[in-house]
Structure 1
Amino acid sequence: MGYIEELREIIGTRPLILVGAVVGVIDSQGKILLQKRPEGIWGLPGGLLELGESAEEAGRREVFEETGVEIGQLQLVDVFSGKQYFRKLANGDEFYPVTIAYFSKDIKNSTIKIDGVESIDAGFFDIRELPEDTSPLIKKVIKQYPKMFR
């Protein structure tokens, strides 16, 4: 059982503040790596921090777990938090995410391998031609990334 599951056993569905990291991985042609989650939404690879893990470590781990792509150096883009990001899941769990967004052009291995659980598809996309079902939050995050495409 993971940290969040243990917390949920104690507090039920009450709101939590959860910290996560997402990474915009940019290839040599300036395309951004997106993953398609089982709900059918495209977004940046990322997820919640584990106990004792840095945000950078979480970003690298999540990119690898969800897409098979290995990355090195990360550069901070921005931190997204506040009541406008509040989420209530279908199971009733509530949370306020604090999302730390990074980008990386330091690709060690670009071979995409999806796990079929957290990701049902993944690929590199031109930022002017994102998939129709790209998360609105991710579109907002990507707008903060102009310096990475230079």
Structure 2
Amino acid sequence: MGYIEDLRALIGHQPIILNGSCGIITNHIGKVLLQQRCEPQERWGLVGGLMEMGESTKQTLIREAKEETGLDLRNQSLHLFDIYSGGTLSVAANGDEFYSVTTVYVVPNIVGAPHITDQESLGFDWFDPTNLPDNMVPRYRHILSDWQNQGRNF
């Protein structure tokens, strides 16, 4: 079991703060890599996940990208874009309650093809940031909108 599962075994569904990282991963023509997850509702989102004990936010993104896409970001430039926190209480499908703190990095000019390496993913695709899929996680749409409004730095 991982950190979150161990913690949930102790505290049940009560609210906690979850820390995670995600990446605005772009290719050489400026398209953004999105992951279509199995849950919830097969929606599209940025690659990333929750922090494990002892990890930095960069290490979290590097690990999650490798686990989910097979892409190795260890030698890539990861530029801090923003940290998203606060907001409303979220409730997972299983009843777990949480607030999230998400560190977002921009990872430009990735070369390579992502592929499914776990049971979390249905697929991956590169999208023009001005033409995102309809079935997208709202917070990730918001992050990409902020990134576009700030001039798509990096």
- TM-score (ref. length: structure 1): 0.92
Contact 1:34 1:124 in 2 (8 A): yes
Asked if the contact 1:23/1:102 (under 8 Å) is kept, the reply is: yes
- Aligned residue type for 2:87: K
Could you list the structure 1 runs, at least 4 aligned residues long, displaced by more than 6 angstroms after superposition.
Answer: none
The one-letter amino acid of 1:9's match is: A
Residue 35 in 1 paired to residue 52 in 2?
no
- Structure 2's unaligned 5+ residue stretches are none
State the match for 1:52 in structure 2: 54
Structure 2 CA distance for aligned equivalents of residues 124 and 149 of structure 1: 18
Q: Is contact 1:78-1:144 (8 Å) kept?
A: no
Shift in Å, 1:148: 3.2
Q: What pairs up with 1:69-84 in 2 under 5 angstroms?
A: 69-71=71-73, 72-84=76-88
Return closer, same or farther for 1:149/1:31 CA change in 2, 3 Å cut-off.
farther
- When normalised by structure 2's length, the TM-score is 0.89
Per-residue CA distance 1:28-53 (angstroms, 9 max, x = gap): 00000000000310000000011111
1:131 is aligned to 133
The answer to whether the 8 A contact 2:30-2:109 is kept is no
Distance 1:50-1:19 versus aligned 2 partners, 3 A rule: same
> Shift of the alpha carbon at 1:25?
0.4
What is the Cα deviation at residue 116 of structure 1? Answer: 4.8
The question of whether the paired residues in 2 share the 8 Å contact of 1:103 and 1:148 is answered with no
For 2:143, the aligned partner's letter is V
Question: Structure 1 CA distance, aligned partners of 2:152 and 2:70?
Answer: 21
Q: Provide the secondary structure at the position in 2 that maps to 1:110.
A: coil
- C-alpha distance in 2 between matches for 1:104 and 1:80: 17
Distance 1:22 1:117 in 2: 18
Residues 56 and 124 of structure 1, relative CA distance in 2, 3 Å threshold: same
